[in-house]
Amino acid sequence: MHVLLVNPPIYDFTAYDFWLRPYGMLRVAGRVAHACTFAYFNYLFSEPRDPWGRGRFHAEKAARPSELADLRRHFRRFGRPRSEFREFLRKRQFDAVLIQTGMTYWYPGVAEVLEDVRELQYAAKTVLGGVYATICPQHARAMNPDLVIEGSHLDPLWRILGAPRPALPHHEPEMGSVAVMKLTDGCPFLCTYCSVPLIYEGFRARPAEDCLEEARRLARSGVRNIALYDDALLFKPEQALLPFLEGIIRERLPVSFHTPNALHPRFLSPQIAQLMVRAGFRSFYLGFESTSAAWLAKTGAKSSPEDFAAAVQSLRQAGAEFIGCYLIIGHPDGEEQEVEASMEYAHRQGARIILSEFSPVPGTADGERCRPWANLEEPLSHNKTAFTIRKLGAARVNELKTLCRQLNEKRSQEPGVRSQEKNPF
- Residues 113-140: pLDDT tens digits? 999 999 999 999 999 999 999 999 999 9
- The answer to whether residues 135 and 228 belong to one domain is no
- Give the CATH number, domain containing residue 19: 3.40.50
**Domain range holding 189?**
178-422
Residue 166 lies in a domain: no
pLDDT of residue 351: 97
Same domain, 35 and 146: yes
Residue type, 29: A
Residues 96 and 154 in one domain: yes
Query: For residue 184, what is the enclosing H or E element?
Result: strand 184-186
Residue 267 lies in a domain: yes
Question: Does 372 reside within a domain?
Answer: yes
Among 161, 193, 226, identify where a domain stops: 161
Specify the pLDDT at position 415: 74
What pTM does this model have? 0.95
Q: What is the pLDDT of residue 424?
A: 47
In a domain, 168, yes or no: no
- Domain membership of residue 170 (yes or no) is no
Domain boundary among 133, 161, 189: 161
**Cis peptide bond prior to 188, omega within 30° of 0:** no
Encoded amino acid at 345, one letter: Y
Residue finishing a domain among 161, 187, 212: 161
Report the CATH number at residue 194: 3.20.20.70
* Contact status, residue 295 vs residue 333, Cβ threshold 8 Å: yes
Contact 176, 18 (CB under 8 A): no
What pLDDT was estimated at residue 49? 83
- Answer whether residue 106 is part of any domain: yes
Q: What is the pLDDT of residues 327-381, one digit of tens each?
A: 999 999 988 999 999 999 999 999 999 999 999 999 999 999 999 889 999 999 9
Q: Assess contact for 41 and 8: CB atoms under 8 A.
A: no
263 shares its domain with 397: yes
Residue 172 lies in a domain: no
Q: How many domains does the chain have?
A: 2
For residues 208 and 295, membership in a common domain is answered with yes
Residues of the chain with pLDDT below 50 are 422-425
Give how far Cα 105 sits from Cα of 7, 318, 367, 389, Å: 15, 39, 14, 16
Instruction: Specify whether 184 is located in the same domain as 156.
Output: no
Helix (H, G, I), strand (E, B) or coil at 174: coil
In this structure, the answer to whether residues 139 and 196 fall within a common structural domain is no
Residue 155 sits in the same domain as residue 210: no
Contact 360, 382 (CB under 8 A): yes
Q: Is residue 362 domain-shared with residue 411, that is, in the same domain?
A: yes
Domain shared by 197 and 157, yes or no: no
CB 111 within 8 A of CB 143: yes
List all residues 6 or more positions away from 164 whose beta carbon is below 8 Å from its beta carbon: 31, 32, 154, 158
Q: Round to whole Å and give the CA distance between 229 and 185.
A: 9
Q: Are residues 215 and 99 in the same domain?
A: no
Check whether residue 268 and residue 155 sit in a common domain: no
Asked if the structure places residue 198 within a domain, the reply is yes
Residues 6+ apart with CB under 8 A from 109: 8, 9, 10, 11, 43, 77, 79
